[in-house]
Structure 1
Amino acid sequence: MAILVLAEHDNAALKLDTAKVVTAARAIGDDIHVLVVGHQCGAVVQAAQALQGVAQVLVADNSVYEAHLAENVAKLLVDLAPSYSHILAAASSAGKDTLPRAAALLDVAQISEVIAVVSSDTFVRPIYAGNALATVQSHDAVKVMTVRASAFDAAAQGNSAAVTTLDKVFAAKTQFVSQSLTVSARPELGNAGIIVSGGRGMGSGENFGMLEQLADKLGAAVGASRAAVDAGFVPNDLQVGQTGKIVAPNLYIAVGISGAIQHLAGMKDAKVIVAINKDPEAPIFQVADYGLEADLFEAVPELIACLS
Structure 2
Amino acid sequence: MRSQLLRSSFGCLLTVFGPFPASCINKAVRQTAAAVPHSYYPRKTMHYQTEQRGHPNSPDYRIYFSKFISAMMNGPHVSLLFPQIATKEPLNPIKQDVKKGKLRYVANIFPHKGYIWNYGALPQTWEDPSHKDKETDCCGDNDPIDVCDIGTQVCSPGQVIQVKVLGILAMIDEGEMDWKVIAINANDEDAEKLNCIEDVRKSRPGHLEATVEWFRKYKVPDGKPENQFGFNGEFKDKDFAVEIIKSTHEHWRALVQKQTNAGGIECKNMSCCNSPFQFSADEARAVVQSAPAFGSAHPVSAEVDKWHFV
Q: Which has the higher contact order (CA 8 A, sep 6+)?
A: 2
Q: Which has the higher helix share?
A: 1
Question: Would you say same fold, with TM above 0.5?
Answer: no
- Short-chain TM bin: under 0.3
What TM-score does the superposition give when structure 2 sets the normalisation length? 0.22
TM-score by length of 1: 0.23
Computing the radius of gyration from Cα coordinates, the structure with the larger value is: 1
